[in-house]
Structure 1
Amino acid sequence: MGKASSSKKIKRVQAAGATRSPGQRRQLGFPALIAAIIVLGLVGTAFAVAHRRTNEEVRPVVGDNWVAAYGTYICGEAFNLGNLDNVVEDAPVDLHADGLIHIHPTDEENSGAGAVFGLFLESVGITVGDGTLTLPPSDLYPEGKTFTDGDECPGEDGGEPQEGRVALYQWPPQAGENTDPRIITTNIAGTRFTEDGQTYVLAFAPRGAEIGFPPSHDRIDDPDDTEPEVVDSSSTTTTPSTTAAPDTSAPEPTDTTPGG
Structure 2
Amino acid sequence: MATSSSSSSAKKVAKLAQRGKGKKVRFQGGTLFPAVVVGVLVVGLLVIVYARQSRPDPGSFPPQVGDHWHAAFGIYACDTWLPKIVGAQEETVVDSQGNESLVNDLYAATGVHSHDDGVIHYHPFSTRSVGKRARLGVYLDVYGIELSEDRLALPEEQGGDVFDVDDYRCNGEEVDIKVVAWDNFADTGAGKNFITDLKDVPLTRDGMVFVIAVVPPGTDVDMPPWAIDLPTLGAVDGGNVPVPSTVPGDTTATPDTTDTTAPVTTGG
Cα offsets for 1:169-205 (capped at 9, x unmatched)? 111125433x021111211111111111111111111
- Supply the distance in 2 between the matched residues of 1:129 and 1:64 (Cα, whole angstroms): 28
| 2:84 counterpart SS class | coil
Identical positions, percent: 26
- Supply the distance in 1 between the matched residues of 2:185 and 2:200 (Cα, whole angstroms): 23
Alignment correspondent of 2:5: none
- Supply the distance in 2 between the matched residues of 1:164 and 1:81 (Cα, whole angstroms): 22
- Supply the distance in 2 between the matched residues of 1:110 and 1:145 (Cα, whole angstroms): 27
Alignment correspondent of 1:148: 164
Cα offsets for 1:96-131 (capped at 9, x unmatched)? 243211111222221111111111101222101221
C-alpha spacing 1:46/1:120, structure 2 compared with 1 (3 Å): closer
The aligned runs of 1:221-240 (5 Å cut-off) are 221-222=231-232, 223-226=234-237
Alignment correspondent of 2:32: none
Are the aligned partners of 1:98 and 1:224 in contact in 2 as well (CA < 8 Å)? no
The aligned runs of 1:54-65 (5 Å cut-off) are 54-55=57-58, 57-65=60-68
Cα offsets for 1:14-37 (capped at 9, x unmatched)? xxxxxxxxxxxxxxxxxxxxxxx9
Correspondence 1:163 to 2:174: yes
- Which of residues 109, 119, 129 is equivalent to 2:148? 129
- Supply the distance in 2 between the matched residues of 1:120 and 1:224 (Cα, whole angstroms): 19
- Supply the distance in 2 between the matched residues of 1:137 and 1:56 (Cα, whole angstroms): 33
C-alpha spacing 1:175/1:132, structure 2 compared with 1 (3 Å): same
- Supply the distance in 1 between the matched residues of 2:59 and 2:145 (Cα, whole angstroms): 30
Alignment correspondent of 1:232: none
- Supply the distance in 2 between the matched residues of 1:76 and 1:203 (Cα, whole angstroms): 10
- Which of residues 74, 78, 82 is equivalent to 2:77? 74
- Supply the distance in 1 between the matched residues of 2:130 and 2:88 (Cα, whole angstroms): 26
C-alpha spacing 1:216/1:46, structure 2 compared with 1 (3 Å): same
C-alpha spacing 1:41/1:182, structure 2 compared with 1 (3 Å): closer
Query: What is the Cα deviation at residue 57 of structure 1?
Result: 4.0
Are the aligned partners of 2:61 and 2:132 in contact in 1 as well (CA < 8 Å)? yes
State the one-letter code of the partner of 1:153: R
Query: What is the Cα deviation at residue 47 of structure 1?
Result: 5.4
- Supply the distance in 1 between the matched residues of 2:79 and 2:165 (Cα, whole angstroms): 16
Alignment correspondent of 2:198: 188
Scaled by the length of structure 2, the TM-score of the pair is 0.59
| 2:227 counterpart SS class | helix
- Which of residues 108, 131, 135 is equivalent to 1:116? 135
- Supply the distance in 2 between the matched residues of 1:170 and 1:42 (Cα, whole angstroms): 37
State the one-letter code of the partner of 1:51: R
C-alpha spacing 1:106/1:43, structure 2 compared with 1 (3 Å): same
Cα offsets for 1:125-155 (capped at 9, x unmatched)? 210122111011158x4xx232122434343
State the one-letter code of the partner of 2:181: Q
- Supply the distance in 2 between the matched residues of 1:61 and 1:215 (Cα, whole angstroms): 29
Scaled by the length of structure 1, the TM-score of the pair is 0.61
| 1:193 counterpart SS class | coil
State the one-letter code of the partner of 1:181: G
Calculate the aligned-residue CA RMSD, in Å. Answer: 3.3
C-alpha spacing 1:197/1:149, structure 2 compared with 1 (3 Å): same
Correspondence 1:99 to 2:115: no
Compare relative contact order (CA 8 Å, sep 6+) and give the higher one, 1 or 2: 1
Are the aligned partners of 2:86 and 2:116 in contact in 1 as well (CA < 8 Å)? no
State the one-letter code of the partner of 1:62: V
